[in-house]
Structure 1
Amino acid sequence: MYNNGKQKIFKYTTSDVHQGTFLEKKITNIVIRFIIKLNGKLDIERFKQTVQLTIEKFPIISCKFYEHFFSAEWKFQEYPIEDFVVIEENKNNNEETENELLMKYYYKDLDYKNGPQVRFAIIQSSDHDSLCITINHMICDGVGFKEFLYMFCDLYTYPEHINNYPEIGDRSYMQLFKNLTLKEKWNILTTDMVNPFKEVHLDLKGDLNRPFVEIRSLTEEDYFKLKEYSKAKGVTLNDLFFTAMMRTLYNIFNRTVGIICDINLRKFLKDKKTECITNMSTALDCRVGDEIGDTFEETLNKVSKSLGKQKNDITCTKGDYLLEIFRQILPYRLVKFLLETFTPVCSFEMSNLGIIDKSKTLFKNVQPTSVIFSGSTVCAPIFEFSASTYDNIITFSVNLYGTPEDQKVINDVLDNYIKELTSII
C-alpha cells in the first residue's frame, strides 16, 4: 500500500543499537517530539495522504526492529493509518484541555520493536488544531527530525514535490568515514580518548511512573540581546548556553562539572547533507579545569576554548568510527555488548536543537503560532537539557521521570540558569 514494492529491509546502524541500549538500560525513553500550535484547521484527509507520501519516501517509519545474533534489521510493515494519526477533540474548547491532551501524547512512548516509529496526535479545537509529533530517536537525531518535519510540511502543501526527495539511502556513520583519506582515518584512530568525568549528580530520586517536563523561554528581545553579546565576544549562542549551565552547576556543587555537548557531524559531509534522514551527531566533553572564573565572561572564555578546539576536529568521532568498524566485522550481539559495556553514561548533557525555520513549517495556508521542540525523557539521576529557537523565541526544556521533589530541584536549576544567562543582558 505505502511501499509500492520498494526496498523493505534496512540494515541496522550503530546509532540504532546505541539508542536501543539507552532504552533497555532505562537511561532515556528515546522519544523526541514537537508540539505545534496552529492558527487554523488542518485538512485531515490531506494530512493522512501526506503521511502515506512520507512513508513512501521514508519507509523506515513504518518498520519493526528485529534483532538476531549475527544481525539486526528494520523490516517494513503495513499499518493502518490510525496507527500513525490520532485525532482527539478538545471538547471543552479551552487552552487548558488542549494542553492536557497535547501532553498526554507528549508523554506517550513509541514501541520501536513493533512500530510504527512516528505518531501524529492532532488535537482539534473549534477554530484551530494543534499537533504533538513524536519520533523514535533510533530513526533520527534532532537535525534529522527537523528535516523530517520540513519534508512533511512541504508534501502537505505541495504533494507534487514527492519526486524532489531521494529514496532512503545509507543511514550509517560510514557515509562520513568512507570518503576520508587513509591519513585522516589514521588520525582519528590514533587520537587519545578522553578520560571519563568524575561522577557527580543532582539529588534526584526518580519515578518511572511520573514523567514531567519543565520549560523556560526567553523573549525575542532577550534573543537579540544574546545574539548581539555573542557577536561582540566572537562566540556562539551555544557557548553562552553552556557557560550559564557551567556556572549554575558550579554554584550547586561548589566545583566544576563536566557537561556533554551534542554536535552535528553533517558539517564534515559533502554539501553538509546526509544521504537521508538519520542520526549524524556525536558528543563532546566540555571541561573547563578546576576553576570557572569569577565572572560570566571568564567562564565563557574557558567554555569557548574547550568546545572550540573540539567541534571542528573530526577526531572527535573516534568512538563512532571504531563502532562502525566493529559493525562491519562482528556479530550484532557482540556490537551491542560492547556498546552496553563501554559507552559511558554522563550525568549532565546539553543539546542545542537549533533554529526551526518558520518558512518551512507551514501546512499550506495554516502556520504555527508556537513550537516546542524537545528531547527524550531521561531517568534519574541524569540531567539532560535541550534548547531550540522558533520565531526568535528560545525555549529550554528538561524532561525527567521523577518525583515532585525532583521537579522542584529541576525548577531551581532552570531558574538559576535563566538568571545566569540573562545576567549579561
Structure 2
Amino acid sequence: MAPQGSQKGNGSDPLPGLKNAGIGKKVCLEMKSQNIPQTMPVTSQDMFNYAARYGISNHTLQAVIHFKDKLDEAKLARAVRLSIDAEPVLGCFFVERENSPFWQRLFDPEKISWCRLEETKDREDSVMKFLLEPLNMDLDPQILALLLRYCQEDTLCIKLNHACCDGRSAREYLKLLAGLYTKLCRDPSFEPEPNVQGKRDQSAVLEAQGITELKSSLIPEETEPTWAFPWQRSAEQESMQFSVTRIPSGNFRNIAAYARAHGATINDIILTAYFRALFDMIEPKLYAPMEIQFTVDLRRYLPEEENISISNLSGIESLRLPGIKCESFTSTLERVVLAMKRIKIHFPGMQSALACELMRGMNSQEVLETVKKEWQTSLVSGKSSPMLTNLGVISPTPLFFGEVEAEDAYVVTPAFHAPAFMLGASTYNEVLTLTAGYYESATKKEDVDHFLDLVVGGLSSCDIRTDRA
C-alpha cells in the first residue's frame, strides 16, 4: 500500500500555496529534510493501536480550535505540511508486514492537500461532519486538517491517527502547529529541524525506571471487566456518533476550588462523577467493586530534558469502587481520592507499559490475534470496563497562530464499538469539554446524552460556596 493522501469532496477546495511553490523552495525543503529516514520502527503500542482498526474503534484523535478572526489559509496549509517534517512519523504510513511492520515515509508529500478550506453557514454542523468523516489508514496521511470559515471567524479541525500518537501527542501537536504557523508569519521561508532523535518507545520509560527484567517486574492483576456502559446487540448497520458537552469557565473554577478544598484533583472529580453516573444508570449490585480504567501519561517518568517525539506513550490504570446506596458526592469523592492515592504510590500505568513492552517479541499477526481474542471475549461476556482519558489542560497559556488567538479548543477521543466506551476530557481557557464517540444502534445516543447530563450534574454540584453533595 502506498497512500498518497485522499482528496475528499464535501464541496471544498484545496488551500492554495503548496502547488504554486517555486522550484527553489522545493529544493531547499528537500535539502532541509534530507536527514528524515524513509522508514521508522513501529513500537509495540503503535501495533496495538493500529490493531484497533479491526472492529474496536475509529482509531482517530481529533481537535477543534476556534478563532474570532481569519487565519491565512496558505500559511496554515504550509504549517501542516511542515509539521510532517518536524515530526517525521506524521509523514509516514503503516506497512503491515507480519514479522516486522514499519512506518514508511510518504512517497511525494508535496502532492498531498494537507488542509482544505470550506465556507460554512452552520459551523456546528460542519464540525460534526468532519468528526464523522473517516480517516482512511491506507490512503490518508497520519494528519488531516480542515479550515472552516464562518463569516469572519475560522475554526480549525484536525485528525490524527491514534496508531502513531496518543492524546498527549495530539495536545502537543496543536502547540507545534501554532508555532510553525507563527514562524511562517515572521519568515515565509522557515523550515523546521526534523525531530529524528526523539524517543517514541516505551523502553525509554522502563529504562528511566531502571527496569531491565520485564517478566519478573510484571505483577498479575485483576483483568476481568465488571460491567459495561449500557448497550444492546443489534443487527442494524452501525452509525458512528459523537456527543460533546461543555462546562463553562465559571463552573470549572468552582469545580477546581472544590477539588482543592477536598484534597482532590480535577481527574478525581471527573472519576467520581463518572462512577456515580454509571451507578445511577446501571444499578449494579451494591458493594460489588465496579471498574473504570483511565489512561496515564508515561512521560511523567522521563527526565524533563528528554527529547520525545510524537508517539504513543500512555499506560492504563484501573480503579475499582463499590456503589453505596444514597451516598453523597463528597463521600464518593473521598473514597476515590483514597483509592487514587494508593494507586499513585505504585507508579500508575507502569504495569500496562510492561505488558505492552512484552509484546515487542510478538509479530504483528500475533498482536492482532491477541487483540481479536480479547475483543471476542468482551463481546461474548457483554462486559468491557468503561474508560476515561483526561488530557488535562491543552495549553496553560492561550495558543496563538501568528497574531490570532485561539479563543476555544478541545480534543475529541476515539469512537468505540460496544461494549467498549470512553469518556474524553480536555480543558482550554478554563472550559472543560467532555466527549464520547460511539456507534449506534448498539449504543444509544439518548443513553450517552443522559450519561453526560448525569456527569455534568455531578460536576455542577461541586460548589465550594455551598459544598452540597
TM-score with structure 2 setting the length: 0.82
Task: Tell me how far 1:145 sits from its aligned partner.
Answer: 0.7
Equivalent in 79, 82, 88 of residue 109 of structure 2:
79
The residue matched to 1:337 in structure 2 has which SS? helix
Q: Does residue 351 of structure 1 match 2:389?
A: yes
Give the partner amino acid of 2:278.
L
| Inter-CA distance 273–112: structure 2 relative to 1 (3 Å threshold) | farther
Q: How many residues align?
A: 417
| Inter-CA distance 370–422: structure 2 relative to 1 (3 Å threshold) | same
Task: Tell me how far 1:362 sits from its aligned partner.
Answer: 1.2
Task: Tell me how far 1:317 sits from its aligned partner.
Answer: 2.4
Is the Cα contact below 8 Å between 1:62 and 1:115 reproduced in 2? no
Is the Cα contact below 8 Å between 1:150 and 1:360 reproduced in 2? no
Task: Tell me how far 1:163 sits from its aligned partner.
Answer: 5.0
| C-alpha separation in 2, matches of 1:377 and 1:48 | 27
The residue matched to 1:257 in structure 2 has which SS? strand
The residue matched to 1:19 in structure 2 has which SS? helix
Q: Does residue 245 of structure 1 match 2:270?
A: no
| Inter-CA distance 397–289: structure 2 relative to 1 (3 Å threshold) | same
Is the Cα contact below 8 Å between 1:261 and 1:349 reproduced in 2? yes
Say which is worse superposed, 161-170 or 63-72, in terms of deviation.
Answer: 161-170
Task: Tell me how far 1:115 sits from its aligned partner.
Answer: 3.0
Equivalent in 202, 212, 227 of residue 230 of structure 2:
202
Task: Tell me how far 1:185 sits from its aligned partner.
Answer: 5.5
Is the Cα contact below 8 Å between 2:418 and 2:443 reproduced in 1? no
Say which is worse superposed, 289-298 or 224-233, in terms of deviation.
Answer: 289-298
Q: Does residue 412 of structure 1 match 2:450?
A: yes
Task: Tell me how far 1:232 sits from its aligned partner.
Answer: 1.0
Give the partner amino acid of 2:77.
K
| C-alpha separation in 1, matches of 2:183 and 2:75 | 11
Residue of structure 1 in register with 2:467 after alignment: none
Cα deviation digits, residues 98-145 of structure 1 (max 9, x gap): 222222211112122333111110112331221111111112111111
Is the Cα contact below 8 Å between 2:214 and 2:358 reproduced in 1? no
| C-alpha separation in 2, matches of 1:417 and 1:324 | 35
Task: Tell me how far 1:233 sits from its aligned partner.
Answer: 0.9
Residue of structure 1 in register with 2:437 after alignment: 399
Residue of structure 2 in register with 1:16 after alignment: 46
Is the Cα contact below 8 Å between 1:266 and 1:272 reproduced in 2? no
| Inter-CA distance 57–232: structure 2 relative to 1 (3 Å threshold) | same
Equivalent in 117, 131, 146 of residue 171 of structure 2:
146
Is the Cα contact below 8 Å between 2:147 and 2:156 reproduced in 1? yes
1:314-329 matched pairs, under 5 angstroms = 314=347, 316-327=349-360, 329=361
Say which is worse superposed, 199-208 or 352-361, in terms of deviation.
Answer: 199-208
Is the Cα contact below 8 Å between 1:208 and 1:401 reproduced in 2? no
| C-alpha separation in 2, matches of 1:405 and 1:174 | 37
Cα deviation digits, residues 175-230 of structure 1 (max 9, x gap): 111233258857732x2322322244403456664222222222212111111111
Residue of structure 2 in register with 1:34 after alignment: 63
Cα deviation digits, residues 28-74 of structure 1 (max 9, x gap): 10111111121111112211221232121112222121112211001
Is the Cα contact below 8 Å between 1:387 and 1:397 reproduced in 2? yes
Is the Cα contact below 8 Å between 2:208 and 2:301 reproduced in 1? no
1:22-421 matched pairs, under 5 angstroms = 22-24=52-54, 26-77=55-106, 78-80=108-110, 82-90=112-120, 94=121, 97-159=122-184, 166-167=195-196, 169-182=198-211, 188-189=217-218, 191-204=219-232, 209-255=238-284, 257-271=290-304, 275-289=308-322, 291=324, 294-314=327-347, 316-327=349-360, 329-342=361-374, 346-357=384-395, 359=397, 361-403=399-441, 406-421=444-459
| C-alpha separation in 1, matches of 2:150 and 2:391 | 29
Task: Tell me how far 1:309 sits from its aligned partner.
Answer: 1.9
Say which is worse superposed, 289-298 or 50-59, in terms of deviation.
Answer: 289-298
Question: Gaps spanning 5+ residues in structure 1: where?
Answer: none
Give the partner amino acid of 1:79.
P
| C-alpha separation in 1, matches of 2:231 and 2:442 | 12
Over aligned residue pairs, what C-alpha RMSD do you find?
2.6
Task: Tell me how far 1:173 sits from its aligned partner.
Answer: 0.7
Is the Cα contact below 8 Å between 1:83 and 1:116 reproduced in 2? no
* Percent identical: 21
Say which is worse superposed, 279-288 or 106-115, in terms of deviation.
Answer: 106-115
Task: Tell me how far 1:274 sits from its aligned partner.
Answer: 5.3
Task: Tell me how far 1:172 sits from its aligned partner.
Answer: 1.5
The residue matched to 1:414 in structure 2 has which SS? helix
Relative to total residues, which structure has the larger helix share, 1 or 2? 1
Is the Cα contact below 8 Å between 2:233 and 2:442 reproduced in 1? no
The residue matched to 2:137 in structure 1 has which SS? coil
Residue of structure 2 in register with 1:7 after alignment: 37
| C-alpha separation in 1, matches of 2:308 and 2:281 | 43
Task: Tell me how far 1:342 sits from its aligned partner.
Answer: 4.7
| C-alpha separation in 2, matches of 1:179 and 1:265 | 11
Give the partner amino acid of 2:231.
D
Task: Tell me how far 1:338 sits from its aligned partner.
Answer: 3.2
| C-alpha separation in 2, matches of 1:171 and 1:325 | 16
| C-alpha separation in 2, matches of 1:37 and 1:418 | 23
TM-score with structure 1 setting the length: 0.90
Give the partner amino acid of 2:131.
Y
| C-alpha separation in 2, matches of 1:274 and 1:204 | 45
